[in-house]
Amino acid sequence: MAKNYKIYIGSDHAGFELKKVLTDFLIEKGYLVSDLGPQVFDFEDDYPIYIRPVADAVAHDAINKTDSRGIIIGGSGQGEAMCANRIKGVRAAVYYGVTLDIVTLSRKHNDSNILSLGARFINNEQAKTAVSIWLKTEFSGDERHLRRIVELDE
């Protein structure tokens, strides 16, 4: 992924600190980052308020043939991925530790365009590693994987 592509990022309260860490990390690496919130920590916030705009932006860019990706962060990453995956054209994959193969396969086989991170299960370095691998891994483009992606959107 070229570094001039936009990366949208959003979180809930559980992912707030990791969002700040990853935003700084990505900017240092030369990526264009759009932080869609929250801008202030609020323990009572609801993740859909911040996750939906990330999913909408990535889906909008996909429709307009503008490549972008999204990173969403919550306690487990599960609810955030469920929220994002309700938007047509979004393919959010969850990572909350253990093997990084899931991050690689989500790109190679599923062309994931959003990575959902579980901040309560990974540390900052694990998150940076997962994001780096995810951004560098290209979709294989195999016919069987393309077919399945089309079937998801039908």
> Which residues carry out catalysis?
80, 109
Strand-pairing partners, residue 116, are 72, 94
Q: What are phi and psi of 138, to 5 degrees?
A: -95, 150
Q: Which long-range contacts (CB under 8 A, 24 or more apart) does 38-42 make?
A: 38/10, 38/11, 38/12, 38/13, 41/13, 41/16, 42/13
> Which burial class, exposed, middle or buried, applies to 50 when counting CB atoms under 10 A from its CB (0-12, 13-18, 19+)?
buried
